[in-house]
Structure 1
Amino acid sequence: MKLLLLLVLVAVAQCRVFRAPLRRGKSLRQSLQEHGLLEHYLKQHPYNPATKYFATRASTEPLQNYLDNEYFGTISIGSPAQEFTVVFDTGSSNLWVPSVYCSSPACTNHNRFNPAESSTFISTNDSLEIAYGTGSMTGILGYDTVTVADIEVLNQIFGLAETEPGDFFYYVPFDGILGLAFPSIASSGATPVFDNMMKEGLVAQDLFSVYLSKNGQSGSFVLFGAIDPFYTTNGITWIPLSAETYWQITMDSVSIGEEAVACSLGCQAIVDTGTSLLAMPNRALGPILSTLGASSNGEISCEAVSSLPDIVFYINGQAFPVPPSAYVVESNGYCILGFQGMNIPTESGELWILGDVFIREYYVIFNRANNMVGLSPLP
């Protein structure tokens, strides 16, 4: 979401009014029950108080895959419910949607929240301002009932956008953003949605997990309060967080083939569902492009893709490969690497962003109970 390929931006611009409907998500229990599979599954996976996997407090939010570039689902706000599509973003912490107070073109092109039509809305005088890697918003804060999947969060604070300057949010096929990072980086001190879910005991476990599909296919989801064992058959590697801000971890090194090409002395990275690409420090991008035989803007011969090596991220002593099928984007006969150079300094050095290009290769578990990220190679 924050870092976009030029060719994908063009595609989004051409499809500026595309906003496919998406129904509010059902819980895992509801989905299995509708297909007559619940009884069998309960026999195969009996309820275990230690894991609480099948507690009714585990709920699935399906995500729509838009061009392998953005993943968004539907939530509702207010009484009666007003529906919005939002990106579930582990790289930010605020929930906001456009409001009727906003006259920016980006707002008028999307669903807008009307507080006058909600009997449970509570206004505040507090303001909100957020700048992303691409796009920004300003607005005010309010409280209302927010429903995510089948989880109803009462008195959730959220932003009502009053301005969305520029073109970026005009062209995107979603309305707003639901941040899933830590309260420490929430603008205006707003409590994130998942923190309220945990505080109110609305999830079985203090974690959520994410699966992002490839090639525009369906099936992507965020699972709140549980880990789906279907996606962890290859085991889970647990990685401790290095900071409780973003979902930030320490990487050991980055290699291509047997050669370490970057991060040789260790570096910091965040696992970010809201970033489309793999973002890295500018000084690391050049050597990686050169090693792969790409031009300075990331273009590469499509004929060469089949012979490209994996890029391997070493994290917590384990290797996490990303194959060329994941990091090369092909469109209309042109191929480009899904990398972006940018400098984001931290106390421990420059930051890498493991965005959707990386996440599509792994089932990712974001564990707030133990402040860890779990990675399981997808089958």
Structure 2
Amino acid sequence: MSLSCWNIILFATVIFVVFHINYVSTMHSVVNGVSNNKRLGASTHPPTIVPIKSGRMDLSNVFDFSRRQWATKLVERLQKQEDILLENVTSRLSWNFGYDKPRKVQNLVSKRHLMEKSVSSLNGKQNWSQKNIVRFPEQQILGGVVSVGMYYIELDVGCGQIIHVQVDTGSSTMAVPLSECVNCKQHDRRYDFSKCPNATRGEKIPCDSDICGANTCYSSYCGSCSASTAACCSQVDNSKCGFILRYGDGAFAQGTVIHETVTIANITFKTYFGGILKDSPSFELTEVDGVFGLAFPLLACNPTCLTPVFDDMVQKGLVERDIFSIHSDLENGVLVLGGSDDRLYDGTLEYSPLINANEPEFYEVECEEVTVSGTNVDLPHFKTAVVDSGTTLIILSLDSFLALKRYFQAHYCNVSGLCGEDGDPDLSWFDPDYCALLEDSEIRQLPNIEFHLKNDVLLILEPEDYMLKVESPNLLTGEIEIYRCLGIHYMQHLERMGNDMILGGTLLQRYYTVYDREQMRLGFAKAKRWSDVKQVLDETRQPEKGTDNVEASQPSQSPFASTSPTPRTNEEQGELSHSSSFLDILSSYRLWIVVGASIVGAFAILSVVGIILYRRRRNRYAHVDEAEAASLTSTGRNDQDDIQLSTEESSSLMPGTRA
């Protein structure tokens, strides 16, 4: 084979390798969680739409999103006390950026192949000035809808041990992993009783204690039953009061009821909550270890009915009023205990009454109408809505979701990718399985979605709000690609559970929400952006002595009461930043190493094949040459003999020739 043929083969191999890696990098884009609205290399090609995998995933594997999940959760209503163990199941849908086989249909790319190598959740925490006014106890919220899939706070348990717990207004339970947990994530954020002094150390509640709920032992999750009260004993430790938390997707956590000191927003007190001794692989996340439920007491039986932590704070007079409020932005927020903070929102608060105020379970309000840019959309199920900070997206019933999708496709097909690709209308970014590369100009062509709540409360979501922005650097070029993912999903049979829709993080990141449990109402106002909130809070100074802006029982510290015993220094933040930058650089170089190694490997394989073929050909020609040489030698000798014989015959026939 000629040298030019080998060059052609090598060139074709290199082109194939580069094309394949570029394809894989597109399919497995890494979402950049660091907020950066600058788009590099904006394109005019049709949208690339990325299928989302259902099922909660471990954040240690996401994102490289670190697999950041998009989790939704719905706690089923409790009907009767005797059904608590059977019915107290949280049904939750999870939307992750998980990873199966690459799936692409022309310009559609599955959402499950979006990944994030985000460090936003690590760098999102900031240490604030100790000179800020504290009107009510406030705690900084970390996480985000895209960066983590939920919001969480740092809870100080016992003697300064930090546990990350999800801020969840859709449940009433608080639970943290214990050091004895047999299969919890192996990191430092597990509560260890032995690290606290004996004098202040809490306890695990015995199964025969009066605290442990009587007549609750009728579940397979109970290890045994107490002889005196038929209480549910822990399956992991039969001598302790059982704690069980189950979810509709199969995830679970179980352990024991504990009584221990906690610190929230610099308020320290002892309370009862769940200590996890065993959980399923899908329960605990890398950034979030446990849960901090803020709903009503009817949801706090697991199976022993405990007073929810916030209710306990109210009953003990640790907060001024039975009110809390939440500000949540893309990556940060504020939890305000005892009231609201007018520095965190614009305009005035508008209130809508809670449904079932006499026996409340969720924060549920009446939804009178849903409109799209002022036009009524006839949704089959939209009469009630649960406001849940533990749900990532807005969740509709399947019928309502399909009705909204049909309306969009009937009026806004000018937006790329909305009305399907490859002749299939289901291959659309309105399908929850896909995300799309869309220009900002196309986003502006989409309509507002308005939720009309009782008492003329109007909640407006602009396209920028419900088309969630996911930044993803192309691994080959390094350019930032901005995917848009619809922040609305559906749950089949949602209406059968007594709820028509769930208003989760997609809405709550835009609205400051006040949970007024005294007057059984929810208040809404447009939330200020985090950059403005941070600036206002940093500029606010503590009042001089004699002022009454700060409650005597409340510490005059930062409204972002970091419960960490050793706040990060600037040097540590710098090291973290440098480390993250180094990882980013290493990641980009790693791609080129793979490309180079692929080219070198292909060249080496082709070279070996070429050498083998060359040697075979040379050996074959060598054998042919030897055969031809032997043949020529034999022919030469025969010719010489013939010539000699011919000469002798000629001489004998000539006359006068001497004998």
Residue 365 (structure 2) aligns with? 249
In the TM superposition, what are the counterparts of 1:113-128 in structure 2 within 5 Å? 113-118=191-196, 119=198, 120-124=201-205, 125-128=240-243
1:367 CA displacement: 1.1
Contact 1:242 1:250 in 2 (8 A): yes
Please report the TM-score for the alignment, with normalisation by the length of structure 2.
0.49
Q: What do residues 180-214 of structure 1 show as CA deviations (whole Å, max 9, x unaligned)? A: 00010113312111001100000112101110012
Unaligned segments of structure 1, at least 5 residues: 39-52
Once the two structures are TM-superposed, the CA of residue 259 in structure 1 deviates from its matched residue by 2.7
| Counterparts in 2 of 1:265 and 1:355: CA distance versus 1, 3 Å | closer
Report the Cα offset of residue 345 of structure 1: 4.8
Query: Is 1:179 aligned to residue 260 of structure 2?
Result: no
Match of 1:50 in 2: none
1:213-292 equivalence runs, <5 A = 213-214=329-330, 216=331, 218=332, 220-243=333-356, 244-263=360-379, 266-292=382-408
Q: Distance in 2 between matches of 1:247 and 1:146?
A: 25
CA drift of 1:117 comes to: 3.2
Q: Tell me: CA distance 1:348–1:72, structure 2 relative to 1, closer, same or farther (3 Å).
A: closer
Say which of 96, 101, 104 aligns to 1:6: 96
User: Residue 85 of structure 1 is aligned with which of 164, 186, 205?
Assistant: 164
1:167 maps to 2:236: no
Aligned AA (1:163):
K
> 1:307: which partner in 2?
445
In the TM superposition, residue 265 of structure 1 has moved relative to its aligned partner by 7.3
Amino acid corresponding to residue 350 of structure 2 in structure 1: T
Greater Cα offset, 189-198 or 135-144: 135-144
More helix by share: 2
User: Residue 226 of structure 1: CA displacement?
Assistant: 2.1
Structure 1 SS opposite 2:400: helix
Alpha-carbon RMSD:
3.0
Contact 2:466 2:488 in 1 (8 A): yes
CA distance in 2, matches of 1:207, 1:225: 5
* Aligned residue in 2 for 1:361: 510
Pair 330,348 (structure 1): closer, same or farther in 2 beyond 3 Å: closer
Partner of 1:49: none
Give the CA deviation at 1:261. Answer: 2.5
Assess, with a 3 A threshold, how the Cα gap between structure 1 residues 352 and 129 changes in structure 2: closer, same or farther: same
Deviation at 1:141, TM superposition (A): 0.9
Q: Flag the structure with higher strand content.
A: 1
How many Å separate the matches in 1 of 2:397 and 2:495? 12
Aligned letter for 2:138? T
Give the letter aligned to residue 71 of structure 2. Answer: K
The equivalent residue for 1:297 is 431
- Report the structure number with the largest CA radius of gyration: 2
Give the equivalent residue in structure 2 for 1:41: none
AA of the residue aligned to 1:20: L
| Structure 2 residue 322 is matched with structure 1 residue 206 | yes
**C-alpha deviation, 1:24, in angstroms:** 11
Change (3 A) 1:225 1:90: same
Identify unmatched segments of 5+ residues in structure 2.
1-69, 73-93, 100-111, 206-239, 410-417, 419-427, 473-480, 529-659
Q: How far apart are residue 65 of structure 1 and its match?
A: 2.8
Determine the structure 2 residue equivalent to 1:138: 254
Question: Residues 348 and 330 from structure 1, CA distance in 2 versus in 1: closer, same or farther, beyond 3 angstroms?
Answer: closer
| % identical aligned pairs | 22
The amino acid of 1:72's aligned partner reads: Y
Asked if residue 195 in structure 1 is aligned to residue 344 in structure 2, the reply is: no
